[in-house]
Amino acid sequence: MTTKKHKGITLLSGNKTKYPQSPDEAVLESFDNTHPDRNYWIEFDCPEFTSICPITGQPDFGHISIRYVPDKLCLESKSLKLYLFSFRNHGAFHEEATNRILDDIVAAITPRKAVVEGRFNPRGGIAIAVSATYPSENIQL
């Protein structure tokens, strides 16, 4: 049953799931934050993230962690699952994928703070970890 407060959620109500073929096709849905007066963290963990190398077309496997402090909206988890799944056929370097996920989350819900971390399995003996934050923090190099 969809209520006014849950009007933006459509993917949970269907009995057949349509898997998007790319992040451009995917939709991040949201619902109203019932505690907008409070700062609290919401965490999502995707230990089986897959994308493809934009040069070789070979699969890349990684672990994506998302943490955010919501403002007016919260991410709906099934839409996030389908969004992350859509990278499976999407060619992107690890740095690009991690930053794209953060950008799309910020565009969808405008959180107070968000951190997306990607830890990717070794390829050629080197593992890569990428961390992107919103809002951008001053980092001294």
Instruction: In whole angstroms, give the CA distance from residue 11 to residue 28.
Output: 10
Closest by CA position to 95, among listed 125, 60, 68 = 60
- Enumerate the active-site residues: 53, 60
Distance CA 76, CA 42 (A): 11
CB contact at 8 A, 90 and 23: yes
Give the gyration radius of the chain's Cα atoms: 16
